[in-house]
A and B are shown apart, each in its own frame.
Chain A
């Protein structure tokens, strides 16, 4: 079955960077895209961006442009999301999610368990 397993919780200081991993199994990794979605405590869902696992093409949310980088390692079927210059309002649970197809607007049928990133001095 499709499974996305994310790396563990992180605590970072303001200004630092965090890199969250998302290891996929149970399907052909390069046939689908991966989106990253975050959720601040008590808040709604926010789309961060998408990467094609087929060719590495990316699309990022405008508000995160310049601070976020999404990559994949097809040899290990793992997707990564790096967020730089962390601020307190980046504190959130970060989810990876598999797209139904390899296009940015496709829905997400499988989700990771979430990774809590806490930004605090």
Chain B
């Protein structure tokens, strides 16, 4: 069982927007602005999409955005494209005891 809770799957049609939630606790997501999101295509290494809750690395499309409210972080993908179909993982710093925790991952299907 993962420390952060994500929906197992989400889906959307091309051009639509989807949001993936990531629920933690006051010991991780709720306490630190060190939430990140990773995209992983089958057989590939993860790719950083969002860091520090809402910052986008250079080269990542502005269709990807992140936010946080309380103990829940969210990743929103607007204007869905076929290439967005992948697994998405959230991750948070969790303090000096647990250090870093992941969500279980969400499989995004573009219909």
How many Å lie between the Cα of A44 and that of B97 in the bound state? 21
Q: Could you tell me if B34 and A107 are in contact, using CB atoms closer than 8 angstroms? A: yes
- The interface stretch among A8-16, A23-31, A72-80, A108-116 is A108-116
The 0/1 profile, CB within 8 Å of A marked 1, for residues 34-57 of chain B is: 101010100001111001100001
- What total of A-B pairs shows CB separation below 8 Å? 60
Q: Which residues of B contact A59 (CB under 8 A)?
A: 99
Q: Which residues of B contact A61 (CB under 8 A)?
A: 99-100
Q: Which residues of A contact B77 (CB under 8 A)?
A: none
- The interface stretch among B10-18, B19-27, B78-86, B101-109 is B101-109
Counting chain A residues whose Cβ lies within 8 A of the other chain, the interface size class is 20 to 34
A7 contacts the other chain (Cβ, under 8 Å)? no
How many Å lie between the Cα of A46 and that of B46 in the bound state? 12
A40 contacts the other chain (Cβ, under 8 Å)? no
How many Å lie between the Cα of A109 and that of B40 in the bound state? 13
Given A44-B2, A112-B45: A107 touches B36 (CB 8 Å cut-off): yes
Counting chain B residues whose Cβ lies within 8 A of the other chain, the interface size class is 20 to 34
Min CB gap A87→B, angstroms: 19
Q: Give the nearest-CB partner of B36 in chain A.
A: A107
How many Å lie between the Cα of A46 and that of B40 in the bound state? 14
B64 contacts the other chain (Cβ, under 8 Å)? no
How many Å lie between the Cα of A76 and that of B29 in the bound state? 36
A100 contacts the other chain (Cβ, under 8 Å)? yes
Min CB gap B49→A, angstroms: 10
- Among residues 47 to 102 in chain B, which have CB atoms less than 8 Å away from a CB atom of chain A? 47-48, 51-52, 57, 89, 91, 93, 97-102
Q: Could you tell me if A35 and B102 are in contact, using CB atoms closer than 8 angstroms? A: no
Q: Could you tell me if A109 and B102 are in contact, using CB atoms closer than 8 angstroms? A: no
Q: Could you tell me if B99 and A107 are in contact, using CB atoms closer than 8 angstroms? A: no
Q: Could you tell me if A105 and B32 are in contact, using CB atoms closer than 8 angstroms? A: yes
Q: Could you tell me if A44 and B99 are in contact, using CB atoms closer than 8 angstroms? A: no
| Interchain Cβ contacts under 8 Å between A and B, 7 examples | A44-B105, A95-B46, A105-B99, A107-B34, A107-B51, A111-B47, A114-B45
Question: 9 closest A-B pairs (Cβ-Cβ)?
Answer: A105-B93, A107-B51, A107-B36, A111-B45, A47-B100, A44-B105, A105-B34, A45-B102, A44-B104
List 17 other contacts, CB 8 Å, given A47-B100, A50-B100, A61-B100: A44-B102, A45-B40, A45-B46, A45-B89, A47-B91, A47-B101, A49-B99, A50-B99, A61-B99, A95-B45, A104-B99, A104-B100, A107-B36, A107-B48, A107-B91, A112-B45, A114-B45
